[in-house]
Amino acid sequence: MDIRNCNEEEMKEIAKEFGEKEFRGKQMFEWIHGKQIQDLDEMTNLSAEFRRRLKEKYRISGMEVLEKQISSKKDTIKYLFSLPDGNVIESVWMKYRHGNSVCISSQVGCRMGCTFCASTLTGLTRNLTAGEMLSQVYEIQRDTGERVSNVIVMGIGEPLDNYDNLIKFIKLLSSEKGIRISQRNITVSTCGLVEKIRELMKERLQITLAISLHAPNDEIRRETMPVARKYSIDEIFEVCREYFEMTGRRITFEYSMIRGINDKKEHAKELAERCRGLNCHINLIPLNEVKERNCLRSADSDIERFKIILEKNRINVTIRREMGSDIDAACGQLRKKFLNPAGKNQRRSDCEYIFDNRYGTRTK
């Protein structure tokens, strides 16, 4: 069993299970999450006998770097990791002036079926454990030798579709005795699972919530995001207002700009109208074109025009700086290439079906 997946309470229980004093669990936590050790034998203040017995049942699973792509500016590194069960995920390290960010995956694959995204092409294989989400941060911090200050859950997968593991992960990541990433420096991005957002706000975490909006109305949103058939934009804005009231945290909206679909003047005006009175920030993302998908990136001039309209309406807006576009850094691209090197279209036709099984209306 992967002991990286355990919190302090669970480690205290493990210590007791082995007939040790409870404080041994606290010491284990300091080694495993505070120092991010890779081998249980590094816990030198525990007896060799206890470590030997512990190793019969527990281990630190970690993950292996299968491939590493470094951008020409050396400010972005994309990691392809292999998990002990042979599954493959990807994570990205980005160096900014204000610190280093790691973008992690929350699932192996995704079942949300967004039409512009590479991560969902082969459907969902399984959820990642809290330990596997942490391992991405620990391994990258070790590999780069530089402290990670920000974590964004914006890689492969839908984090709120893996809710319990996500919450455990955030608590471990921000623990005072762990790697100590402040909750204010953690962002969770969701396609907008409204009930889960409502649950999340009750946890009273200080994280930033980012919502993948990508459209100013339901009609356009439903063209690219199957989840929009389950939850309307009105419901999303309503829950965002509640979220802000409850947590005091400003909402981020992500808006990937797709040529001819969501990038017109009237779309910017409609979006501005919706955001009126809500403390939010809009991040315009020039679409990363994915070979298997038909969506095209908006022209730079259209993105700029969109931004200006929002600014005129006094909406906070930025255009996402592009990093690592010379290294398959778009969501799921590297993993996709690994799974399907010939580039043949392997889209699982039941992808939306899997999604709809749980989230309502069938789209096919």
The residue ranges that bind ligand SAH (CB under 6 A) are 112, 114, 116-117, 154, 158, 189-191, 212, 254, 256, 285, 287-288, 290, 330-331
Task: For the CB of residue 30, give the shortest distance to ligand SAH in the complex, in Å.
Answer: 32
In the chain, % helix, strand, coil (3-state, to 5) comes to: 40, 20, 40
CA distance 240 to 243: 5
Asked whether the beta carbons of 307 and 284 are under 8 A apart, the reply is: yes
Pick 116 or 359: Cβ nearer ligand SAH: 116
Q: Minimum Å distance from CB 289 to ligand SAH?
A: 7
Q: Residue 16 CB, nearest distance to ligand SAH (Å)?
A: 38
Q: Closest distance between ligand SAH and the C-beta of residue 256, in Å? A: 4
* Catalytic residue chosen out of the listed positions 20, 331, 351, 352: 331
- Look at the block and give the residue holding tokens 């512009």: 116
Q: How far is CA 174 from the centre of its chain?
A: 16
Q: What is the 3-state secondary structure (H, E, C) of 101-153?
A: EEECCCEEECCCCCCCCCCCCCCEEEECCHHHHHHHHHHHHHHHCCCCCEEEE
**Between residues 62 and 192, which has the closer beta carbon with respect to ligand SAH?**
192
Residue closer to ligand SAH, measured from CB, 129 or 288:
288
Q: Which of 222, 223, 225 is nearest to 212 (CA)?
A: 225
**With respect to ligand SAH, which residue has the nearer C-beta, 20 or 254?**
254
Q: Which is nearer to ligand SAH, 102 or 331 (CB)?
A: 331
Nearer to ligand SAH, 12 or 293 (CB): 293
Q: How far apart are CA 269 and CA 265, in angstroms?
A: 6
User: How far, in Å, CA of 145 to CA of 317, rounded?
Assistant: 33
CB of 176 to ligand SAH, least distance (A): 28
Instruction: Find the angle CA(175)-CA(181)-CA(185) to the nearest 5 degrees.
Output: 130
Contacts of 267 (CB under 8 A, 6+ apart): 215, 216, 220, 306
Instruction: Find the shortest distance in angstroms from Cβ 22 to ligand SAH.
Output: 38
- Catalytic, 117? Answer no
Which of 90, 132, 158, 352 is catalytic? The answer is: 90
Nearest CA to 102 out of 186, 174, 214 is that of 186
Q: How buried is residue 38: exposed, middle or buried, by Cβ count under 10 Å (0-12/13-18/19+)?
A: middle
Count CB-CB contacts under 10 A for residue 234: 11
- 90 in active site: yes
Catalytic residues: 90, 331
